[in-house]
Chains A and B, each alone.
Chain A
Amino acid sequence: MRLVLGSLFALIVAAAIGLGTTWLVLTEGTAYGGVTVGAWTAWPKNGTPGIDPYARAMVARSGELPIGSGDGVAFFARADDSGRALDGRCDVVVAGITPQARFWTITLYDPEGRLVANSVQRHGFTSQEIVRNSDGSFEITVSPRARPDNWLPTGGVERYVLALRLYDTPIGVATRTGRDAPMPAVTGRACQ
């Protein structure tokens, strides 16, 4: 009797811990091997055959295709430089320069990776569209209300994710620090 109760207890503990940790790891998105520069994080290894089992499980679950390393690299930001989650009801300024790349794009998604509906049907910019300062740097205002120059509308959603993708770039698996990859600053401004 004791043996049965004991093994039943152990099995319940095993199922709870095993499935619980798997679920936690996959939903919280704690992948290894990321390169973090300021507010931005990329997982260049996910675009190679060396992708780790956790990232593979996450990719299979979300349904996305990781960008191949011979194509480019994708950086994601879910919070500004001070760590505050990106809020579509506030103004956020993305300013600076990007690492070396033939082209880059910046896109705004909801946390599930869908584009966000807005009145001007703008979901991002490419490196060719962007209005730049004379020194080549740029400033994008991510805001629910119309702004001059580079305005990226949030549609007023509560949470969003910014993706900065570099195409044909030396940035990749070997990149470790912000000195190799100067990413634009993400600064939170006033809220509505």
Chain B
Amino acid sequence: MIRLLLWLLGGVLMGGIVHLTTVLLLPGMASQDAYSRLAPLAKVNMVSPIPGPTPENAAMPFMDPAFAMAVCRYDLSEGPLKFSVPVSQAYTSVSFYTRSEVAYYAINDRAAGRRVIELDLMTTEQRNELPDNEEITAADRLIVESPSTTGLIVIKALAPEPSMLGMAANALAAARCQLQ
């Protein structure tokens, strides 16, 4: 009886390890995560519009239907990326996600304080390689460091009324993301 209880205790302890391991490994193994869902719709290092959600069809669950959305699926292995988007009339935001959907940076039009949100996206190594004399130019350009080589830039423009969705989408159509 004691022996059985000891085996049971051992099983419970190992179960805890199994639980922690599966929780930690799951994000890397998921095949229906947001990145995998957007990959067929978004070309690499290009801005692609993402169709708005309808009851029948949506790129991802829990999308806000009041927004027009576009995505730049980036790959920084060839070098840093230049990104720009003109702000729309109501509200524009740019959010950065790693390959495993960690939101590491987000900025909106008011925080950017300009008519155009402009920034450079690079990995930490690429930033360290920037020549020193470029620090002056770096001061007036926003530099965002990506923790991963690949990831997503999600650009959203609000349509305060449904009739303004077209205008919001037009503002996003002028967004650019390209290798430097």
**Which of the 9-residue segments B75-83, B89-97, B125-133, B172-180 touches chain A?**
B89-97
Using a Cβ–Cβ cut-off of 8 Å, how many residues does chain A contribute to the interface with B? Answer: 63
How far is A126 from B64 in the complex, measured between Cα atoms in Å? 10
Report the minimal beta-carbon distance from B20 to chain A, rounded to whole angstroms: 8
How far is A109 from B54 in the complex, measured between Cα atoms in Å? 11
Return the contact of B158 from the options A22, A51, A124, A126 (Cβ within 8 A).
Answer: A126
Report the minimal beta-carbon distance from A124 to chain B, rounded to whole angstroms: 6
Interface centre among B8, B13, B61 (most CB of A within 10 A): B61
A168 & B110 in contact (Cβ 8 Å cutoff): yes
How far is A114 from B102 in the complex, measured between Cα atoms in Å? 22
Return the contact of B23 from the options A12, A14, A25, A123 (Cβ within 8 A).
Answer: A25
Contact residues on B (Cβ < 8 Å of other chain), bracket: 35 or more
A71 within 8 A of B: yes
How far is A21 from B26 in the complex, measured between Cα atoms in Å? 14
Q: For A131, what are the chain B residues with a Cβ–Cβ distance below 8 Å?
A: none
A32 within 8 A of B: no
How far is A95 from B147 in the complex, measured between Cα atoms in Å? 42
Return the contact of B160 from the options A14, A66, A129 (Cβ within 8 A).
Answer: A129
A112 within 8 A of B: yes
**Chain B interface helix/strand/loop/mixed:** mixed
Residue ID in chain B nearest A108 by CB atoms: B65
A165 within 8 A of B: yes
Residue ID in chain A nearest B103 by CB atoms: A68
> Taking A69-B103, A103-B160 as contacts, is the C-beta distance between A64 and B23 under 8 angstroms?
no
B171 within 8 A of A: no
B7 & A9 in contact (Cβ 8 Å cutoff): yes
Report the minimal beta-carbon distance from B168 to chain A, rounded to whole angstroms: 12
Return the contact of B18 from the options A14, A47, A53, A123 (Cβ within 8 A).
Answer: A14
B11 & A13 in contact (Cβ 8 Å cutoff): yes
B156 & A71 in contact (Cβ 8 Å cutoff): yes
B60 & A15 in contact (Cβ 8 Å cutoff): no
> Taking A71-B106, A117-B55, A168-B110 as contacts, is the C-beta distance between A12 and B11 under 8 angstroms?
yes
B91 & A10 in contact (Cβ 8 Å cutoff): no
Q: For A117, what are the chain B residues with a Cβ–Cβ distance below 8 Å?
A: 55-56
B106 & A103 in contact (Cβ 8 Å cutoff): no
Closest 3 CB pairs of A and B: A18-B18, A113-B61, A13-B11
